[in-house]
Chain A
Amino acid sequence: NAGVTQTPKFRVLKTGQSMTLLCAQDMNHEYMYWYRQDPGMGLRLIHYSVGEGTTAKGEVPDGYNVSRLKKQNFLLGLESAAPSQTSVYFCASRTAGATERSRTEAFFGQGTRLTVV
């Protein structure tokens, strides 16, 4: 019962380096989300996807790109990392299922702690 898996769990980057965070879900969920968590600010939405091949901007999209080539995977890319992108990143997924109750619950990965120095 893997659920939502994020890779890697920890990473340290130098300013200007690039990297990709991988989110994989095995629940056949249609919707996937990337959030960042910063102290005192809760979780803020970066990008989201309503299905394979589609993505959209969230609240704080600048400096990030995403892709969803396969339904089960949602990739978050940082092309040129900046210290302001030091954060904990969470991926979440949700079904567009048959019942309202099933559609309300989002499942989260365990987060990726990224430090940009």
Chain B
Amino acid sequence: AQTVTQSQPEMSVQEAETVTLSCTYDTSESDYYLFWYKQPPSRQMILVIRQEAYKQQNATENRFSVNFQKAAKSFSLKISDSQLGDAAMYFCAYRTSIQGAQKLVFGQGTRLTINP
């Protein structure tokens, strides 16, 4: 079974600085998707960025980018120019495909604090 591990329960960063959140996963599949979700205090799950495993180029969405290392099964999220609104719980997720349902498997989450 696929597993996703986020080894940093909490992280903090100064406003305007850069922070990297770590994620590793375990799978025997060759084709899959990886995601980072943001969960602010409102509880809403917000998709931040996605990465297709067959693409070598790292995904980027404005201030958010990933470092995808397929051989190492590592998928870290870098947030540049951190803003107060970035404070949230961040979840790494893997999309598995079983009978077409394509379920998401989540990591434990990392709580990010932004210091003004």
Interface, chain A (partner B; CB < 8 A): 31, 33, 35, 40-45, 48, 50, 56, 58, 88, 90, 92, 94, 96, 103-106, 108, 110-111
Contact = CB atoms under 8 A, between A and B. Distances in A.
B44 A110 contact: yes
A88 B43 contact: yes
Interface of B: 4, 6, 9, 33, 35, 42-45, 47, 50, 91, 95, 99-109
B111 to A, nearest CB: 10
B33 A50 contact: no
Given A50-B100, A50-B101, A108 B45 contact: yes
The binding surface of chain A is classed by DSSP as strand
Contacts of B50: 104-105
Nearest to A41: B108
Contact of A43 (B91, B99, B100, B101): B91
Given A40-B108, A43-B91, A105-B50, A94 B102 contact: yes
A64 B85 CA distance: 36
Top 8 A-B residue pairs of the complex, sorted by shortest distance between their CB atoms: A42-B106, A108-B45, A111-B43, A43-B106, A42-B108, A104-B33, A42-B107, A50-B101
B91 to A, nearest CB: 6
